[in-house]
Amino acid sequence: MSLDASDIEKIAHLARLAVAPESIERYAADLSNILELVTRMDAVDTHAVEPMAHPLHMSQRLRPDRVTEPDRRTLLQANAPLTERGLYLVPKVID
Amino acid sequence: MQNKSIAEMAADLRLRSYSSVELTRHYLERIARLDPGLNSFISVAAEPALAAAEHADRAIAAGTAGPLAGIPIAHKDIFCTSGLKTSCGSRMLDRFIAPYDATVVERLAAAGAVVLGKTNMDEFAMGSSNETSYYGPVRNPWDPTRVPGGSSGGSAAAVAARLCAAATGTDTGGSIRQPAALCGVTGIKPTYGRCSRWGMIAFASSLDQAGVLARSAADAACVLDEMAGFDPRDSTSADVAVPDYVDSLDEEIAGLRIGLPKEYFGAGLDGRVAASVHEATKELERLGADVRDISLPNSPLSVPVYYVVAPAECSSNLARFDGVRYGHRCEDPRDLEDLYKRSRAEGFGAEVQRRIMIGTYVLSAGYYDAYYLKAQKIRHLIADDFQRAFEEVDVIMGPTAPTTAFPLGAKMDDPVAMYLNDIYTIATNLAGLPGMSIPVAPVDGLPVGLQLIGNYFQEARLLSVAHRFQRATHWHLAAPEGFQ
């Protein structure tokens, strides 16, 4: 499996990463090498094998549907790059 | 002081041979003097450590002290610590102060441990050499031109250099065991779900597990005793009773069945490392164990499977870093998409971006069955191999890593070569099994690790086998020159 520059641009967009134009070729080569390693999986016939969902085959635990978290907005927003009156600020989305 | 075991330190503190404040000052002085050459700490918390030490001294005097009261440890910088920076080795979190303590941090604090600081690591735990850290590489105390392994390289180097009595680590594909091997310390990765992941920054959630790096199995048992156990805040935490690991240390080795997987001794393994591992298993035979050859036929596929599963989970987990709620934010974003894209490109290093992209690709429409589903199926085969082996043997052993510590920079340009360092450790994570690495005879003055793999929740057995071996040998006592 070999990826080219346009594949990298598409993947980087899906992953929301601004990859510098000069790095694209390098990423294409690196990712192609990693996928080459991954293709070793093709040697195994797995059509009758169940996928492994959990190492210990445990199912998801559920808890009662009750509010357990206190309001810690001020503390949590202390880490935010930009807030105003308790709101997170982002660039204008709707004109 | 720094060469004493945790049990000896705890006894000394109780006898007032020295106080925790004196012990903590001693370690802080060592860190200030010796760590500039190693870079094993990202943050040193001198004042909070001394305050905790004072508190421990008072608790000891009052008779209310916990089992680890006054023992100076360090946390890998992946564990959230309230009031102290948690960077995960990334520019993304360079200014992140967690609003809460991870469960592991909370439990060790409740046991009285004193936190000296946060240790260096590969960025978001993605790496096998500690060279992907935003804070620079860690140097191996045995040879500062070489890597300490990764991703818990700071914890391994700090323990080897006697800059803390023990340290926490995390292991997603070998990140406790491989640096433990390369730095000549004892490391244990418990069963998936044994220690809480709450407050541990997520990399690959079906693989991540917290554990301990220490100078001996007995020390690791002291720390793991306080870390392990059910946590309702972690939805994958195992609700399984925890035995007393220290109490189980002296179990007999006689009759123990040890299996050596032939796939762990094939091409790619340094012959001198193999000889050292065989010498160690011979010692275990002398102690009464029965050593035999076994096979884990699907284990050679663990690296390819891992490089689908781990990046896929990483791309999902790291989607939370958006430049909005916490973490790095770019300057003057043109619009929301530009904010996301540039904040992430500036905040993450190259290896993290590679893995996010691989994960995004293998999960994208049309590729899911060929990659992720296929990998999860082979993961099943790998886990089944282990269960078949455990019908015949009690513990599986082999090398932890294919070579001793390699020079800084040697593998940074070739991601795939770097990934192959974890060829013997990854299968354990894919299966969710507990694993350990303990030092055996070095090669050319560089440490070699023997890996021990047990069945689910058999940490006590691994620790007792390691302890028996360490009672009969001296490899774990060796300290690097300049750090004795």
* Chain A (14-43) residues lying within 8 Å, Cβ to Cβ, of chain B: 14-20, 23, 27, 30-31, 33-42
Question: Which among B301, B324, B383 has the least Cβ separation from residue A52?
Answer: B383
Substitution target from A38, A69, A73 for chain B, most B beta carbons within 10 A: A38
Reported as a single tens digit per residue, the pLDDT across B94-116 is 999 999 999 999 999 999 999 99
Distance from CA of B291 to the nearest CA of A (A): 27
pLDDT at A1 over 70: no
**Residues of chain B neighbouring A75 (CB-CB closer than 8 A):** 99
Q: Which helix (H) or strand (E) holds B235?
A: none
Reported as a single tens digit per residue, the pLDDT across B414-468 is 999 999 999 999 999 999 999 999 999 999 999 999 999 999 999 999 999 999 9
Reported as a single tens digit per residue, the pLDDT across B195-216 is 999 999 999 999 999 999 999 9
Q: Which residue of A has its CA nearest to B297?
A: A44
Work out whether the CA dihedral B364, B367, B369, B374 comes out positive or negative: negative
Q: Which of B184, B165, B83, B163 is nearest to B120 (CA)?
A: B163
Q: Could you tell me the pLDDT band of residue A56, with boundaries at 50, 70 and 90?
A: confident
Inter-chain CB proximity B378 and A60 less than 8 Å: no
pLDDT at A57 over 80: no
Is the distance from CB of B171 to CB of B128 less than 8 angstroms?
no
Phi, psi dihedral angles at B349 (to 5 degrees): -80, 180
Substitution target from A56, A74, A92, A95 for chain B, most B beta carbons within 10 A: A56
B4 CB-contact burial (10 Å; exposed 0-12 / middle 13-18 / buried 19+): middle
Give the 3-state secondary structure percentages of chain A, helix then strand then coil, rounded to 5: 40, 5, 55
Task: Return d(Cα B72, Cα B70) in angstroms, integer.
Answer: 6
- What strands lie across the sheet with B257-261, from one edge to the other? B41-44, B114-119, B72-76, B166-170, B210-214, B186-189, B435-443, B446-453, B395-399, B257-261, B290-294
Distance from CA of A61 to the nearest CA of B (A): 6
Inter-chain CB proximity B380 and A51 less than 8 Å: yes
- Max Cα distance, chain A (Å): 58
Per annotation, catalytic residue among B19, B175, B196, B302: B175
**Amino acid of residue B270:** D
Beta bridge partners of B44: B117
Q: Which of B89, B69, B70 is nearest to B78 (CA)?
A: B89
> Counting one residue from A and one from B, how many pairs have CB atoms under 8 Å apart?
169
Task: Return d(Cα B211, Cα B219) in angstroms, integer.
Answer: 12
pLDDT at B484 over 80: yes
Inter-chain CB proximity B329 and A60 less than 8 Å: no
In this prediction, what percent of chain B has a pLDDT beyond 70? 100
Residue B76 annotated in active site: yes
Task: Return d(Cα B303, Cα B51) in angstroms, integer.
Answer: 45
Inter-chain CB proximity A88 and B325 less than 8 Å: yes
Q: How far from each other are the two terminal CA atoms of chain B, in whole angstroms? A: 10
Tell me the angle at which helices A24-38 and B302-317 cross, rounded to the nearest 10 degrees.
130
A83 three-class SS:
strand
Residue B282 annotated in active site: no
Inter-chain CB proximity B348 and A17 less than 8 Å: yes
Distance from CA of A37 to the nearest CA of B (A): 6
Task: Return d(Cα B167, Cα B177) in angstroms, integer.
Answer: 13
Among the residues of B115-258, which ranges form H helices? Answer: 153-160, 177-183, 217-227
Burial B55-76 (b: 16+ CB within 10 A, else e): bbbebbeeeebbbbbbbbbbbb
User: What is the pLDDT, as a whole number, of residue B401?
Assistant: 98
Substitution target from B318, B361, B426, B428 for chain A, most A beta carbons within 10 A: B361
Reported as a single tens digit per residue, the pLDDT across B2-41 is 999 999 999 999 999 999 999 999 999 999 999 999 999 9
Reported as a single tens digit per residue, the pLDDT across B304-322 is 999 999 999 999 999 999 9
Q: Which residue of B has its CA nearest to A23?
A: B350
Distances (CA, A) of B343 to A5, A7, B236, B325, B357: 22, 22, 31, 12, 16
User: What is the pLDDT, as a whole number, of residue B72?
Assistant: 98
Distance from CA of B244 to the nearest CA of A (A): 22
Q: Which of B233, B227, B174 is nearest to B199 (CA)?
A: B233
In chain B, how many H helices and how many E strands?
A: 15, 11
Question: Which among B341, B345, B379 has the least Cβ separation from residue A52?
Answer: B379
Distance from CA of B475 to the nearest CA of A (A): 33
- Mean pLDDT calculated for residue range B153-166: 98
Distance from CA of A27 to the nearest CA of B (A): 7
Say what the alpha-carbon torsion angle B417, B419, B423, B426 is, to the nearest 10 degrees. 180
pLDDT at B386 over 70: yes
Residue B151 annotated in active site: yes
B303 three-class SS:
helix
User: What is the pLDDT, as a whole number, of residue A68?
Assistant: 87
**Residues of chain B neighbouring A81 (CB-CB closer than 8 A):** 323-324, 326-329
Per annotation, catalytic residue among B20, B40, B76, B276: B76
Check whether the bond before B151 is cis (ω within 30° of 0).
yes
Q: Which residue of A has its CA nearest to B416?
A: A34
Question: Which among B99, B298, B358 has the least Cβ separation from residue A34?
Answer: B358
Is the distance from CB of B64 to CB of B57 less than 8 angstroms?
no
